[in-house]
Structure 1
Amino acid sequence: MTKFILKIRYEFKNTLFEEEKGRDRGESLLISPQSSFYASTVMICVKSQHFDLNRILLLAIGLWPYQKSKFSQLQATLCFGILTSFVVFQFTALITTKCTADFIIKIFSSTTFFSLYIIKYNMFWINTHHVRNLLEQLQYICNELKDENELAIFKKYGNYTRCCTVIFTSFAICSAFIATLLPIWPQILGTVLYINESQLQSQTIQIVTEYFVDQQKYIYLIILHTNAVIYIGAITITATGTMILGCVIHTCGLFTIANYRIEQAMRTKILENINLNNRNMICKKIFYAIEIHRKAMKFINFMLSSFEGSFLLLIAICVISLSLNIFAIFCNASLGNKEAFILHLLFVLVIFLYMFIANYAGQEILNYGTHIYSTAYNVRWYNAPLHVQKMILLILQRGSKTFGLNVAGLFAISLECFAMLTKASTSYFTVIYTMQQ
């Protein structure tokens, strides 16, 4: 296989040498990345145009990889400390309270959810250099684009990234706002005309904590800590999630560009009039299609390998947390506890949405990879010159094996995986519910 690839590259270099002797000006504008058209093209700044909203969110919690000041380091330490301390203070309740099965499940239903915030935050904090490398790789690939249509495709998928970030940020803000208002929602609705400190303490969000202080005296500080965790966590899961989703969306854009190059190279008019110039142009375009396809695969594999351990931990915690919070919903519904019911329902919606979006993104990678294979297979490759057919064979060989997001060889991220994880969560909930009866 290695000898075959080297042979293809050798033939390609020869065709480039022949084309330098006889190509005209118009053709060079279409196919040469070093042409005057390419040099005059306005460059796209990926991190400031496609990831500008992500940059704002990550700067807010001290995770933007290009910000390395002492203030950002202090900011990151403070945010991580707030998230971690909240989970610790929930576990300390196991020390001062009699541990029953219901109480343990109540503690773990919330701690597992807030642990997702810690995992996501830590995933980006310790892998800052990987996040920066991902952005730089995207910028490098973008700088090599030579065609207006290809740049338009890249911009379109960049706009998709921004739209997704806006939508999910809006959802996160609404969810955090609802969670913040839960302690005082009776007052807002007019069902309670006055709430003193003792009443306010009894209506706090149903998250059990133990600070080893007089909770009635420091109720406002406890609420401040809880609200800080909610908002920092919402920003964390939105900023990191949309950043990874943006990388997946851009990979789909690169697959689309590869597909476009194959279609342009194998146009019917060109194949009907095979001459030296057309033959060289087809060879160059197919080569560039193979190159960008290879770079897209390399880019997404680098992203997976950078966060593989965190992804595995996230999958496990999501399944456990989903099971426990579904059980908490049933328990609080039977007891008529509206505040706790809404809170755990919110937890379930967030986890469910997060799992669905992640697996849907993996499904899109599968679909785009299959589409490239179908395009290479359905074009009139049999009318192309022999060395072009050999190059198309490389794409067909890659496409014959399913390419997708595979985490540690255990989970192939797709809608099928989402169904499997949801089924597993439901099964665990059934077991817990049966044991409690």
Structure 2
Amino acid sequence: MFCIETEHFNLNRILLLSIGLWPYKRSIFVRLQGILFFSILSSFVILQLITLTIKKCTFDFFVKVCCTTIFFSIFAITYNMFWINTHSVKNLLDQLQYICNELKNEKEIAIITKYGNNAKRCTTIITSFATCSTFIATLLPVWPQILHIVLHKNESQSRPTIQLVPEYFDQEKYFYLLVFHINTVICIGAITATATATMLLGWIIYICGLFRVVSYRIEQAMTIEVLRNIHLENETVIYKEISDAIEIHCKTIKFSEFFSSTFQGSFFILISIGVISLSMNFFGVFQNLGQGNTESLILHIIGITVILIYMFIANYAGQEVTNHNNHIYFTAYNSRWYVAPLHAQKMLLFILQRSNKNFYINIGGIIAISLECFAALTKLSMSYFTVMYSMHE
């Protein structure tokens, strides 16, 4: 028995605690912290939308504001996704711990520990990447001034324009206040995206690990040594191993379905705005290429890169769940099931029928998370971009 929280989810716990989303020990201070952070993330989105009602709304300006608004709304949605589902997040952690506590021997624990270490490693890599990216992003607005001081230039220099801030603000007068606001939003948003994404990814990796334990139990039950000497004791062993494999398989599928149903509304919204944001950022790249606006071009390229990486990792993880479930089918099918006792064959038939169909992490029964889904979403984004570019021309 081991504690998944301290062994593999410790960094996730620290990240979620820092933004008030850890589901345990929800004090009044933590609740107020959640309200404050969500308000900060929402305020930036609202300020961007206000621009559309104040300034003359041309097509180019509309796309520019929407690119920023939709991208930063992802932070607010992911924060709200965990905030309103605090009880469900706690249940998911408790269910996963309960399933892991039922692992029988050291080899099964070694399997799940291996996958848990993979989840921990992915969390560390993603957190490191997000930290570096956030540090660079927060320096962008003030980098010209830092460079100006370092080079000891005496001539006066006008402050740079902050591309992410609505244009009706007096950026010269409120420069440092605006920089503080945007940097606060970026930091909270980056921690939110990293904490929630790595937590979701950790759960999916654990699902893969549990499916691998199912395959291991079938392999142990149908070993050549056991099947070669069929007697009453071995029949009992075979029956018990296959029964345990079916039990953990059913619990893992139930856990997966609860996982997808808990966040399916937020997932659907995130996928929709992700596709729209990707299309608009593609349009922004082509638009700024013609205008020679380098800073805006870089921001659009960053937006495209982040969304594509996020979408690919999510769909690749979903594909791995399908592959691990298929491995259960191949393990049972390739075993010497025809030598096993009759009641064991019937139980193996149950596993074959259950794992014969591809198992996907579904979102509302509409979207199946897989590499095929990633290709379809990317293609859909390019189609929307083509329509927007045709309208602009």
TM-score (normalised: structure 1)? 0.87
Match of 1:385 among 341, 344, 351: 341
> 1:316 is matched by which residue type in structure 2?
S
1:160 equivalent in alignment to 2:118: yes
Kindly indicate whether the alpha-carbon contact (under 8 Å) linking 1:62 and 1:76 is maintained by their aligned counterparts in 2.
yes
Cα drift, residue 49 of structure 1:
1.4
> What one-letter code is carried by the residue in structure 1 that aligns with 2:132?
C
Identity over aligned residues, as a percent? 58
Report deviation, 1:63: 0.3
CA shift for structure 1 position 434 = 1.9
Match of 1:179? Answer: 137
Cα offsets for 1:82-118 (capped at 9, x unmatched): 0000000011111221111100010001100011111
Query: What SS is found at the alignment partner of 2:338?
Result: helix
For residues 129-183 of structure 1, what are the alpha-carbon distances to aligned partners after superposition, in whole Å with 9 as ceiling and x for unaligned? 1100000001101111111000011111110111110111111112212221222
Residue 189 of structure 1 deviates from its aligned partner by 5.5
Conserved? CA contact 1:186–1:192, under 8 Å: no
Are the structure 2 counterparts of residues 293 and 347 from structure 1 closer, same or farther at C-alpha, using a change threshold of 3 Å?
same
Q: 1:89 aligns with which of 43, 47, 51?
A: 47
Task: Extract unaligned runs of 5+ from structure 1.
Answer: 1-42
Mark the CA change 1:150 to 1:52 in structure 2 (over 3 Å): closer, same or farther.
same
**Residue of structure 1 aligned with 2:243, choices 287, 295, 318:** 287
Mapped contact 2:23–2:86 kept (Cα < 8 A): yes
Q: CA deviation at 1:213?
A: 6.2
Of 195, 200, 207, the match for 2:164: 207
Query: Any residues of structure 2 matched to 1:410-429 within 5 Å, and which?
Result: 410-429=366-385
For structure 2, the 5+ residue unaligned runs are none
Task: Determine helix, strand or coil for the equivalent of 1:374.
Answer: helix
Opposite residue 128 of structure 1, the aligned amino acid is T
In the alignment, which residue of structure 2 is the partner of 1:3?
none
Letter in 1 for 2:287: C
User: Aligned partners of 1:193, 1:130: CA distance in 2, in Å?
Assistant: 56
Compute the displacement of 1:432 (Å): 1.0
Taking the TM superposition and a 5 Å limit, the aligned residue runs for 1:122-133 are 122-133=80-91
Which of 15, 30, 51 is equivalent to 1:57? 15
Decide whether aligned partners of structure 1 residues 196 and 87 sit closer, same or farther in structure 2, where only a CA change above 3 A counts.
farther
Q: Is the 8 A contact 2:165 2:178 kept in 1?
A: no
Q: 1-side partners of 2:155 and 2:374: how far apart?
A: 46
Q: In the alignment, what sits opposite 1:373?
A: 329
- 1:107·1:208 contact (CA, 8 Å) conserved in 2? no
Q: Is the 8 A contact 1:262 1:285 kept in 2?
A: yes
Q: Residue 299 of structure 1: which of 255, 262, 279 is its match?
A: 255
1:37-52 alignment to 2 at 5 Å?
Answer: 43-52=1-10
For the aligned residue pairs, the C-alpha RMSD in angstroms reads: 1.8
Shift in alpha-carbon separation, 1:193–1:47, aligned structure 2, 3 A = same
Aligned partner of 2:92 in structure 1 is 134
Partner of 1:33: none
Does the residue aligned with 1:92 lie in a helix, a strand or coil? helix
AA partner of residue 226 (structure 2): I
Shift of 1:251: 0.4
Q: CA deviation at 1:67?
A: 3.1
C-alpha displacement at 1:273, in angstroms?
Answer: 0.3
Please give the alpha-carbon distance, in whole angstroms, between the structure 1 residues aligned to 2:244 and 2:273. 42
Name the counterpart of 1:18: none
CA contact (8 A) 2:8 2:120 kept: yes
Q: Secondary structure of 1:409's partner?
A: coil
Contact 1:261 1:288 in 2 (8 A): yes
Mapped to 2, the partners of 1:332 and 1:67 lie a distance apart of 48
**1:309 positional shift:** 0.6
Q: Is the 8 A contact 1:263 1:375 kept in 2?
A: yes
Corresponding pairs, count: 392
Aligned amino acid, residue 130 of structure 2: A
Give distance in 2, aligned partners of 1:139 and 1:66: 14
Mapped to 2, the partners of 1:209 and 1:272 lie a distance apart of 76
Choose 1 or 2 for highest CA Rg: 1
Does the CA-based 8 Å contact 1:61-1:76 persist in structure 2? yes
CA distance in 1, matches of 2:270, 2:157: 38
1:101 aligns with 2:101: no
Which of 153, 157, 170 aligns to 2:128? It is 170
In the alignment, which residue of structure 2 is the partner of 1:394?
A: 350
CA contact (8 A) 2:238 2:344 kept: yes
How big is each residue's C-alpha offset from its partner over 1:16-43, in whole Å with a ceiling of 9 and x where there is no partner? xxxxxxxxxxxxxxxxxxxxxxxxxxx2
Question: 2:76 matched to 1:118?
Answer: yes
Residue type of the alignment partner of 1:199: S
Q: Does 1:239 align with 2:195?
A: yes
**What is the identity, as a one-letter code, of the residue corresponding to 2:107?**
N
Superimposed CA distance per residue, residues 341-384 of structure 1 (whole angstroms, 9 cap, x where no aligned partner): 21121111110001001100111011011110010011001000
Aligned position for 1:408: 364
Question: Is 1:405–1:412's contact at 8 Å kept on the other side of the alignment?
Answer: yes
After superposition, the Cα gap between the structure-2 partners of 1:217 and 1:194, relative to the gap in structure 1 and judged at 3 Å, is: farther
Asked whether the equivalents of residues 161 and 171 of structure 2 are also in contact (C-alpha less than 8 Å), the reply is no
CA contact 1:332–1:340 (8 Å) conserved in 2:
yes
CA positional deviation for 1:194: 5.4
Q: What's the CA shift string for 1:395-432, capped at 9, x where partnerless? A: 00101221111111211110000000000101111111
Change (3 A) 1:253 1:197: farther
User: Among residues 314, 339, 349, which one is paired with 2:270 in the alignment?
Assistant: 314
* One-letter amino acid matched to 2:340: A
